Amino acid sequence: MDPVVAVAHYPEGAGHATRMLAVAQALEARGATVHLAGGGPGQKFVEAQGYDEFVPATVDYIGDYQDGGNLLRVCTHSVPMSGKRVLDYVRWLRRLEPDAIVTDDMFAAMAATMTGTPLHVLTHNSPHFYDAVVEEVFTWLLTKYQLGTGEQFLYPSVWPACAADPKGVTHIPPIALEGNGEADPDPMDAILVPSHYSHGFDALERTLAEAGHDVTRVGDDDWEPVPAMLPYLEAADVVVCSGYSTVMEAAVAGTPCVIWPFTDEQHGVSRVIEKTGVAGFQVEHSIPHVARAVRQPPEEPEFENGDDLAAERIIRAL
């Protein structure tokens, strides 16, 4: 009998959904029946790929703490919603009774333990990314929990194994969601991919356009949602982004990438990329420096897509 696999993505930012969608499709290609869950900004990408997903209670720790929030907001909003999200996942897993769950969502991981569902963690998160003690300690505890309870901890990264990685993770290549046969987009000089928490991309777009660049900005008034971003990154000469999911997509696309980080996690990822000297990426922190990097981009990165390897390891473990 073909395995049934639950695939759940974290709700902060669309990149969590596209990454898990890539793995879901690779699992389906190996005969698995897949059920998706997660919600948040990534839900539109899931639906664009033809899936109906289960949407548990949504949390937003970055918005409640880093992006103009505070600990009081975390305690009065994120914490109670976290409990509800876990319970929603528990009910979903009990209905499905899947052979396994693959997730980058800490709450789905907790629900897996509560229901006895075999857990496969797939995330790049590390306590070394965070400067704030609260975030660092919480991520350390979470990582230890996932390593201790999961069947395996798959760690997609563009950097080689290093001291910043949690001990016990399994490195795999970066993961990107492939296109589904839609027409190739027109070539462009630069594509701007702000994250949900980025600021200043309007001004950056104006600066680049005034310098004569052909610029496409994801999410502006002229942008229409697409099933997958990879074909658009492949059509560009350079990518400017904040989030790590787009970094991975740029790596698979083979397109030079300028990283302009904003959240603690984005800054942490950027530091690791800089320290390990990964070819194809350049980190900048202001509009003038980003614009200069677009004029003189780094070399093209060379990476394979890790979705097939992730699916292979998951199926093999069932």
> What is the pLDDT at residue 74?
56
- Say what the pLDDT of residue 63 is: 56
Q: Which residues pair with 283 in a beta bridge?
A: 259
Q: Residue 135: which pLDDT band, with cuts at 50, 70 and 90?
A: confident
The secondary structure of 255-304, three-state, reads CCEEECCCCHHHHHHHHHHHHHCCCCEEECCCHHHHHHHHHCCCCCCCCC
What are the backbone angles phi and psi of residue 281, rounded to the nearest 5°?
-130, 145
Q: What is the pLDDT of residue 194?
A: 92
Which residues lie closer than 8 Å to 226 by C-beta, 6 or more apart? Answer: 48, 182, 232
143-182 pLDDT, tens digit each: 999 999 999 999 999 999 999 999 999 999 999 998 776 6
Average the pLDDT over 183-187 and give the result: 83
- As a whole-number percent, the residues of the chain with pLDDT over 70 amount to 93
Backbone dihedral angles phi then psi of residue 192, each to the nearest 5 degrees: -105, 125
- For the entire predicted model, the pTM comes to 0.89
pLDDT in tens, 272-286: 999 999 999 999 999
Query: How far is Cα 212 from Cα 186, in angstroms, rounded to an integer?
Result: 17
Give the pLDDT confidence of 71-105 residue by residue, as tens digits.
Answer: 555 565 566 778 889 999 999 999 999 999 999 99
Task: At 142, list the tokens.
Answer: 């979470």
The two tokens of residue 40 are: 């948040």
pLDDT of residue 77: 59
Query: How does pLDDT run across 295-309, given as a tens digit for each residue?
Result: 999 999 999 999 999
